[in-house]
Structure 1
């Protein structure tokens, strides 16, 4: 996590918690000539546009007050979508039994990408069932895990 995303996380967490919303992820990245601060939020029941707007207003006001980012940027607050990333312990625990996509830093069994059903999470590794075979991946070797849509 970059220094800026760490700062924004510290600012955003109390705001979203106060609005009964979960902070899923924060990205700060440059696309073309523009910088974007993307904040992904959700609730157990899903999130709607009015909740995203409320989070955006509160966070925008706090960022204007504290001014932690030097560059000009666009603030976007949205749902993480159906293919949300799994990053926190709680994310993995809630996703057990669901279909996921795992991207690795290095190939495992001739591939850097695997899809299957999340069977287990123990904080150090995840076990994914792929075609009736269980594969275990060390968390440190995982670049990204997302919920996936199974076709």
Structure 2
């Protein structure tokens, strides 16, 4: 499973009306695991039927193009409550929500912050976030090594 698989998965999901949120590879050489997280464009929750539909389409494409090993595991699921924020559109969509962000510009290099705004042009977007002490910090997305929505269990 080479690096070229992500654009193919993205195109296949796009044709079905889904967005690729995350693609992870794991497992072993003999039995690779391909984990795919999808999201709906209509902002409804991803259903089991959505995952099954996407899985069947991806499986057919990956196998037809011989992009996967003979014995592989394909897991298609929703992005979950702690979904990654990979693109500027993700940051825009979740303004007002809290995220755990890893970035050298934040105190300690990693903090849970509130996303306040996103400005800038493609490739030069800057998120305005509020840190735990209430300070507003500008964080260029190109400086963020990882960001995920924060999830807290309600008691």
Fold agreement, TM-score > 0.5: yes
Relative to structure 1, is the Cα distance of residues 74 and 138 closer, same or farther in structure 2, using a 3 angstrom cutoff? same
Q: How high is the TM-score relative to the length of structure 1?
A: 0.83
User: Is the contact made by 1:36 and 1:75 (CA closer than 8 Å) also made in structure 2?
Assistant: yes
User: Is the contact made by 1:37 and 1:75 (CA closer than 8 Å) also made in structure 2?
Assistant: yes
Once residues 29 and 92 of structure 1 are traced to their aligned partners in structure 2, the CA distance between those partners, rounded to angstroms, is 27
Relative to structure 1, is the Cα distance of residues 81 and 32 closer, same or farther in structure 2, using a 3 angstrom cutoff? farther
What do you get for the CA RMSD once the two structures are aligned? 2.4
Aligned residue number for residue 148 of structure 1: 150
CA shift, 1:72, in A, is 4.5
Structure 1 residue runs without a partner (length 5+)? none
Structure 2 residue runs without a partner (length 5+)? none
Relative to structure 1, is the Cα distance of residues 32 and 16 closer, same or farther in structure 2, using a 3 angstrom cutoff? closer
User: Is the contact made by 2:38 and 2:77 (CA closer than 8 Å) also made in structure 1?
Assistant: yes
Q: Secondary structure at the match of 1:4?
A: coil
* Pairing 1:35–2:36 present: no
User: Is the contact made by 1:35 and 1:71 (CA closer than 8 Å) also made in structure 2?
Assistant: no
| Structure with greater proportional strand content | 1
Once residues 17 and 10 of structure 2 are traced to their aligned partners in structure 1, the CA distance between those partners, rounded to angstroms, is 11
Q: Secondary structure at the match of 1:81?
A: coil
- Within a 5 Å distance, the mapping from 1:34-113 to structure 2 comes to 34-43=31-40, 44-70=43-69, 72-104=71-103, 106=104, 108-109=106-107, 111-113=108-110
Once residues 65 and 30 of structure 2 are traced to their aligned partners in structure 1, the CA distance between those partners, rounded to angstroms, is 24
Q: Secondary structure at the match of 2:91?
A: helix
Once residues 92 and 71 of structure 1 are traced to their aligned partners in structure 2, the CA distance between those partners, rounded to angstroms, is 38
Q: How high is the TM-score relative to the length of structure 2?
A: 0.81
